[in-house]
Structure 1
């Protein structure tokens, strides 16, 4: 087999304590290997002297497949079309690109892994189909549990073992990477009771009689007992409301020592008055303090970027709230027994809108205040906070204070009354960028072969030519390798290759398989006249 060697690059691989040292890298059959004692005859060498070498990028929280993404694409009908391009520098792509363009844009930017953060179990088959149409990158998804009827039944009855078995069975059945909790209990309450969400952590959920606190605590404990690689992935109640930082803190405290990952934390870090939608202020510092004191907790940011966005969420109550504020078009749908969704096109205007400017500043605050970069990952909650193709600009803002101050200077003057961003002078190093965009999200997800270049890791590498303009440098890598194959060079994509599905192995007992057949066939069966389809038959199609 052919050996490959990248010679003389400045390697930034923080997981293996490499911070810009000149180092040769070897790989074979898509895997990083130790340097051979003697150079084999069948060796392909590439001189990357003076270039910056990092592992392939990892986006741990985005929305790229599934029904709600397709509903969002319908809003863009006539704009996105089905155009294809071999250019990885297409910056005028729609905010919700099609599957092919999604893979192209990620790969061209040097990202080789992406995780869709919210897929109901009942729609997993569609997600897998769309993954098969998304080239270049490896991918996984998280499955929704926080408003699941069976979950809430077992929590109410105190059946922790049944809950744990169900979580394992569902993940195994739909081939998911982990457990997602969205507005725990609030979505189901909104569906049941006159469109009312839950704003208090100890309020009961409709007829189920369990609280958001119980849902979060029970699912997080089940994830830990199962030994899943990724912690419970939590989207708190009260997303987007002024004053919601207190709900976020209480939810973190509700874990009581269990692991928890808090998604798009920017949207959950607001001070102000919930009854005044213009009263947004930053409450980042107390949350940063708590996370820093609890290594079992991690976050991704969900920063916003100026320009077009698209709300795509499993939190239909929030989508309805946003629609009332903006008056725009929206879409919602129900996933029976499991979830809901809301979709709203939008645009962030931080140069003119003080609320948007405050949100923009809060995202940056999280990056700049968090002392341990291993506890935080870059995300824009694509496309909720803006497109993932704008990550290079966010990296530029983190690495260059002067550039950041220039941007702040374009914001409304009274932004200083809402956020202390101007006082933060930290500048990220390339090693910290490598942690934020690669090593930390891979470690948080439990993807042991991703985010580093140690022996046995996947040979996913991104190679940059140093430039004064940091945005341009990260927009257009010099080379991108996926599983040892060169897939992009100077922004031009090579032959299209499929990526892999990533998922952990989860064992469930035969006893539980028999128990859940009875419950599911009683609750999920579909009647067409005299013809009845049982849940077992439906779920076989997912498998």
Structure 2
């Protein structure tokens, strides 16, 4: 009896969501989903894939990267040198041509993620006013399901609603914004700090209790009130926070205060490596790692999660919704720079950067990222990221996996760094090694759970048939950089390193349940302040 079933036979499964840790099992697929085995033992699959001796995991999920929208496009224009020197993606009968570098083109982004075994990615910072641009680029990014977080931490309507103590209006506005812009979650980038920088003399030192000029609110209020609104809206992913004072010595105190400001609410703190620095005052002196103190707080607060923002050595592009940071880096390194102000909503900064292992600060950043993976006790609370491309390319994920699974390799890399790193971080003392099950959590099951994606990150019946099959290798970088097969929604996308098909993928977004009666107020404010018309705002379709 023939049918549309595909059977993957004899693979060694790693499916942490369902408690499967290295068990040999078969998988059945049909209509883009994983299904239970047919009850009729005589049913023969239309296709059989022999995975004997191979490792089978769900498709990878990158929950924090920068791959679409106006800032990404501006970065491509800023760095022709970066693109010119990189190996291009050539057109084939299946693929279109694309450029590489630290900020790949849309087509290259989709192909390269798929070739790593990733099937889902979220752009982490899209201004709602320019969401249509991001979605247009998503339409040109194949092989992935895609979503985006919408910037709200410096939005004028958000701050006015908080100042005027109108939580219902704030809640409805956030719901409206996510629905209109087809976003997935509210994103706070340097909440209040970007707007304060625009009003003042260029200072980046906005603390949680400093007042944002003109709006008479504090970053602490923005964090607390937006987090509560997100909880009230019952969004699948809680507020996604880029803390204030990114990259500044001594910023760990602000990061700890941000965690505390969430109280008992769920929250995700992103690229946490950039927010974990000691130093900067008379009490602490030189820069150092404060991961142990911050990880202790995470370990005792299971409602909080982080992604790392791991730094890798080499050239890349800093690209952020934190406009003050872009300005700071350009001045620090004397590099070219783009800054953009998005009316009523946000800003961004873009600048080239090169991380060097012999630089004490850069080597310390590298070590601090690894400390986060190794000091958070529960792997369900920490997610792999490079904040692509800020800490490095997503193409470096296999190297990070090797660093986590092989302490000898990690020790050898540490020895190649500036010698003072061992005095200012605890990395040299950490012997923990990740297992394949741990890797499956931080790259698949964990992000799916944090994002509230019930059909992602696992291999149980009902899950999307997004599956990656690897050839085991003692060198885990080799193992993870070239999957044997990648299946997206039941369709073979990659086989033996070759792209076999280029499915478009889905757009993941929320249709929030908010009070529609607030829309006339939003419209009146919009027509009074924006340079585009109300009906032209957001994403159609």
Q: Same fold (TM over 0.5)?
A: yes
Which digits, 9 at most, give the CA deviation of each residue in 1:23-80, with x for residues without a partner? 0011101101001112424531111011000000000000000111111101222653
Match of 2:17 in 1: 15
In 2, are the aligned partners of 1:241 and 1:274 still within 8 Å (CA)?
no
Structure 1 range deviating more: 74-83 or 367-376: 74-83
TM-score of the pair, normalised by structure 2: 0.95
Query: How far apart in 2 are the matches of 1:195 and 1:375?
Result: 35
1:46 counterpart (29, 46, 49): 49
Query: How far apart in 2 are the matches of 1:177 and 1:414?
Result: 42
Which digits, 9 at most, give the CA deviation of each residue in 1:300-349, with x for residues without a partner? 00011111211000001111112221111111010000000000011111
2:328 counterpart (321, 326, 329): 321
SS of residue matched to 1:229: coil
Match of 1:371 in 2: 377
Which digits, 9 at most, give the CA deviation of each residue in 1:127-173, with x for residues without a partner? 00000000001110000000000000000000000000000000011
Query: How far apart in 1 are the matches of 2:71 and 2:381?
Result: 29
Paired residues for 1:156-167 under 5 Å: 156-167=163-174
SS of residue matched to 1:499: coil
Q: Please, what is the CA RMSD of the aligned residues? A: 2.0
SS of residue matched to 2:109: helix
Correspondence 1:97 to 2:104:
yes
- Shift, 1:267, TM fit: 0.2
Paired residues for 1:43-442 under 5 Å: 43-77=46-80, 80=83, 83-84=89-90, 93-273=100-280, 279-350=286-357, 352-442=358-448
Paired residues for 1:479-490 under 5 Å: 479-490=485-496
- Shift, 1:406, TM fit: 1.0
Match of 1:34 in 2: 36
Q: Quick one: structure 1 residues 488 and 83, their matched pair in 2 at CA, closer, same or farther if it must change by over 3 Å?
A: closer
SS of residue matched to 1:459: coil
Query: How far apart in 2 are the matches of 1:200 and 1:33?
Result: 51
Query: How far apart in 2 are the matches of 1:433 and 1:307?
Result: 24
Match of 2:460 in 1: 454
Q: Quick one: structure 1 residues 116 and 278, their matched pair in 2 at CA, closer, same or farther if it must change by over 3 Å?
A: farther
SS of residue matched to 2:459: coil
Query: How far apart in 2 are the matches of 1:146 and 1:365?
Result: 28
Query: How far apart in 1 are the matches of 2:249 and 2:59?
Result: 36
- Shift, 1:278, TM fit: 9.7
Structure 1 range deviating more: 191-200 or 469-478: 191-200
SS of residue matched to 1:208: coil
Which digits, 9 at most, give the CA deviation of each residue in 1:212-248, with x for residues without a partner? 0000000000000100010100001100001100000
Match of 1:505 in 2: 511
In 2, are the aligned partners of 1:12 and 1:434 still within 8 Å (CA)?
yes
In 2, are the aligned partners of 1:185 and 1:198 still within 8 Å (CA)?
no
In 2, are the aligned partners of 1:10 and 1:49 still within 8 Å (CA)?
yes
- Shift, 1:272, TM fit: 0.9
Query: How far apart in 1 are the matches of 2:298 and 2:98?
Result: 35
In 2, are the aligned partners of 1:115 and 1:141 still within 8 Å (CA)?
yes
Query: How far apart in 2 are the matches of 1:250 and 1:537?
Result: 40
Q: Quick one: structure 1 residues 490 and 483, their matched pair in 2 at CA, closer, same or farther if it must change by over 3 Å?
A: same
Query: How far apart in 2 are the matches of 1:378 and 1:83?
Result: 25
Q: Quick one: structure 1 residues 79 and 403, their matched pair in 2 at CA, closer, same or farther if it must change by over 3 Å?
A: closer
Structure 1 range deviating more: 501-510 or 367-376: 501-510
In 1, are the aligned partners of 2:267 and 2:304 still within 8 Å (CA)?
yes
Match of 2:537 in 1: 539
Query: How far apart in 1 are the matches of 2:462 and 2:399?
Result: 32
In 2, are the aligned partners of 1:189 and 1:198 still within 8 Å (CA)?
no
Q: Quick one: structure 1 residues 507 and 499, their matched pair in 2 at CA, closer, same or farther if it must change by over 3 Å?
A: same
TM-score of the pair, normalised by structure 1: 0.95
How many correspondences in the alignment?
A: 533
- Shift, 1:542, TM fit: 4.5
- Shift, 1:504, TM fit: 2.3
In 2, are the aligned partners of 1:84 and 1:100 still within 8 Å (CA)?
no
In 1, are the aligned partners of 2:131 and 2:181 still within 8 Å (CA)?
yes
SS of residue matched to 2:512: coil
Match of 1:530 in 2: none
SS of residue matched to 2:83: coil
Structure 1 range deviating more: 91-100 or 379-388: 91-100
Structure 1 range deviating more: 299-308 or 92-101: 92-101
- Shift, 1:91, TM fit: 13
Where does structure 2 lack aligned partners over 5 or more consecutive residues? none
Query: How far apart in 2 are the matches of 1:58 and 1:363?
Result: 19
SS of residue matched to 1:210: coil
Q: Quick one: structure 1 residues 503 and 24, their matched pair in 2 at CA, closer, same or farther if it must change by over 3 Å?
A: same
